[in-house]
Structures are given as C-alpha cells and as structure tokens.
C-alpha cells in the first residue's frame, strides 16, 4: 500500500475556530506513522491546470489560485483561504492523480491520500463546504482520460453528501457514484430520487442510525449496485465525520464500521479491478475519532 501527502496541505489556513483545520491532518499523519511505521509515504505532486480543467471551470481554478498575500479571504460562508491555500489545493488534487497512476501501473493495489483541503462539495464552477478543488473528481477524470477506464466507481461514506462529485459526473456513464449520508445535513442534496443517468446511487440515513443500519444499507442496496457496475477502479471519498464523536453530525458509527466498509470495497475491487482502490481524505472533525478511523481504514486497505 502507498500513502501520499505533502507539507503544503498543512499550510492551508482557515482561521482558529474553523473545523477544517491543519490539526486534522497532523492527527491523521501522526496516527498512521505510529500505527504503521513501514507505510510507504510518497510526496504528492501538484496538479496541473489541465488536470483541474477536466472537472472545473477556469473561473473556479483562477478564484482558488488568486494569491492571498496575508490574512484570510472568505470564498463562501464556510470556505476560507489564506496565503498557503492555493498550493495546498494543488497538492491535494495532485495526490489523487499520482495515486491513480501508481495503482494503474501495478506499483501497488491500494493508496491513501492524507491531504487537505477536502473536495467532494466543490462543483464544476463553485467552491463549497470547506472544499476548493474536487480531489476525487480530478482523480476520476484522470483515470478516465489518461488510462482509458470505462467503469470508475466513486464511493462516498462521508456523513455529508458529495454534491459536487455527483454534479460533475451525473451525465458521465464512465463514472458511477455511490453514497450514504445523513439526512437533514448540509448540503441538503443526495435524495434517492437523484439518479443522474442511472449512475448515481444515494441512500439517506436518519440521525442515530448506528453501525447496524449503516452496514445493512450498504449490504442491501449500495454494495450490490457497486458489484453490478464491475468497477475497474474504486475511488473513495473517505470522510470519517459519521463517527459517534464527531461534532458536526449524528450518524453514530465507530472505527470498526469504517474498517468493515473498506474491506467490502476491497473485495469488490479484487473481483473486478485487480484490487485497485484509491482513497482520499474528506471530513472528520473530532481529532481522536479521525485518527482512530483513519488507522482502521488504512489497516483494511493494507490487508
């Protein structure tokens, strides 16, 4: 297994009270290095402009990369950038590209991208919900265009719906999107009736669902659909804010639930896609829970 990160991702400053802060990534990196001292760490390259333009309008790319000489600049009510944010966003998006290239070349079956800012709320033309570039969408478009893949699955178990990812690919038959997320939360999208061209699969879970309902929902609905899609590559929007300790949601999962879903995804990836899974960090805002869940997730990717 390979792991990607870059020091620039720690330089994205969102202000002292913002939940999406550099301490999140430090907690993830420290926990993974303690748990898996043999993990192969690689430096994430910066995404190129052409990589970003596959999924984002030029105006959005320019907005994110406008220099911020000092202080902070608010792009929307939740999304803040500082002097280091543009560089961080480039390396966060570039990590997924490098990880896709690595698993496609056979360097390893699985990869985890420990990066920030997260990405799955960013649409083709708008930053949103802490997200600047849509990292998993950039990776999927690269896999489609550079590697010629015809069946790419994006699995999103973040507690919030990945509205940006869905919007980018809902008319693209090469990419299927599978998401479970808590009802009643930002961004208030992700209804079961949102189907794209049949390639969008959403399930809403009520607050307090817990691991039993989460697992049965995936077993009964989402995993069979994923298996039927026969993905050549599985990309994961790995958000851990569905954990019971997370301050922004109430889905009440624990680390074992994330290890379980990861193992299920690996089984399907082995069946159809030579075991290829690339995972990118999304949400998770309790530092201890985030660290614990990431260790469990990466442990399942290594098995």
As a three-state string, the secondary structure of 239-301 is: CCCCECCCCCCCCCECHHHHHHHHHHHHHHHHHHCCCCEEEEECCCCCHHHHHHHHHHHHHHH
Question: Per-residue pLDDT averaged across 12-18, rounded?
Answer: 96
Residues 120, 156: Cα–Cα separation, whole Å: 9
What pLDDT score does 263 carry? 98
Cβ atoms < 10 Å from Cβ of 66:
12
Confidence of residue 145 (pLDDT cuts 50, 70, 90): very high
For 173-194, the pLDDT digits (tens) are: 999 999 999 999 999 999 999 9
The residues near 42 (Cβ < 8 Å, ≥ 6 apart) are: 2, 3, 4, 98, 102
Tokens of 232: 């050549």
Could you give the percent of the chain with pLDDT greater than 90?
A: 100
Tokens of 266: 């690996």
Strands (E), the chain: 2-5, 40-43, 73-74, 80-81, 110-113, 152-156, 175-182, 200-205, 233-238, 277-281
In the block, residue with structure tokens 């999107």: 177
What pLDDT score does 125 carry? 98
CA distances from 173 to 216, 243, 247 (A): 27, 32, 36
121 is catalytic: yes
Catalytic residue of the set 6, 91, 120, 121: 121
What pLDDT score does 68 carry? 96
**Directed axis angle between helix 58-65 and helix 85-105, to 10°?**
120
Residues 64, 281: Cα–Cα separation, whole Å: 19
Residue 103 exposed, middle or buried by CB count within 10 Å (0-12, 13-18, 19+): buried
What pLDDT score does 25 carry? 98
In the block, residue with structure tokens 């991208």: 113
Question: Per-residue pLDDT averaged across 29-41, rounded?
Answer: 98
Question: Per-residue pLDDT averaged across 255-282, rounded?
Answer: 98
Question: Per-residue pLDDT averaged across 128-138, rounded?
Answer: 99
What pLDDT score does 283 carry? 98
What pLDDT score does 266 carry? 98
Structure pTM? 0.98
What pLDDT score does 5 carry? 98
For 210-260, the pLDDT digits (tens) are: 999 999 999 999 999 999 999 999 999 999 999 999 999 999 999 999 999
Question: Per-residue pLDDT averaged across 37-53, rounded?
Answer: 98
What pLDDT score does 139 carry? 99
Q: Are strands 40-43 and 110-113 parallel, antiparallel or unpaired?
A: unpaired
What pLDDT score does 19 carry? 98
Q: 154 in helix, strand or coil? A: strand
**Directed axis angle between helix 85-105 and helix 135-147, to 10°?**
40
Question: Per-residue pLDDT averaged across 4-8, rounded?
Answer: 98
Question: Per-residue pLDDT averaged across 83-109, rounded?
Answer: 98
Contact (Cβ atoms closer than 8 angstroms) between residue 54 and residue 139: no
Across the chain, mean pLDDT equals: 98
């Amino acid at each position: 297994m390979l792991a990607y990160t870059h020091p620039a991702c720690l330089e994205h400053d969102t202000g002292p009270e913002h939940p999406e802060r550099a301490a999140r990534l430090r907690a993830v990196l420290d926990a993974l290095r303690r748990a898996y001292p043999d993990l192969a760490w690689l430096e994430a390259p910066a995404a190129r402009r052409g990589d970003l333009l596959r999924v984002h309008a030029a105006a959005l790319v320019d907005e994110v990369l406008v220099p911020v000489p000092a202080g902070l600049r608010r792009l929307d009510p939740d999304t803040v950038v500082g002097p280091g944010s543009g560089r961080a966003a480039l390396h966060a998006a570039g990590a997924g590209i490098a990880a896709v290239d690595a698993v496609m070349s056979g360097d390893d079956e699985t990869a985890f991208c420990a990066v920030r800012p997260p990405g799955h709320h960013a649409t083709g033309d708008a930053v949103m919900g802490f997200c600047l570039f849509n990292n998993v969408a950039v990776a999927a478009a690269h896999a489609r265009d550079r590697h010629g893949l015809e069946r790419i699955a994006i699995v999103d178990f973040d507690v919030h719906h990945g509205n940006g990812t869905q919007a980018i690919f809902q008319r693209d038959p090469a990419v299927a999107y599978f998401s479970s997320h808590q009802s009643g939360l930002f961004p208030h999208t992700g209804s079961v009736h949102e189907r794209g061209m049949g390639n969008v699969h959403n399930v809403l879970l009520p607050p307090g669902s817990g691991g039993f309902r989460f697992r049965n929902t995936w077993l009964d609905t989402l995993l069979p659909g994923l298996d039927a899609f026969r993905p050549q590559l599985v990309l994961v929007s790995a958000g851990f804010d569905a954990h019971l300790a997370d301050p922004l949601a109430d889905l009440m999962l624990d680390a074992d639930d994330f290890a379980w879903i990861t193992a299920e995804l690996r089984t399907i990836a082995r069946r159809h896609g030579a075991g290829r899974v690339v995972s990118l960090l999304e949400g998770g805002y309790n530092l201890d829970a985030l660290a614990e869940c990431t260790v469990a997730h990466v442990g399942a990717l290594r098995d």
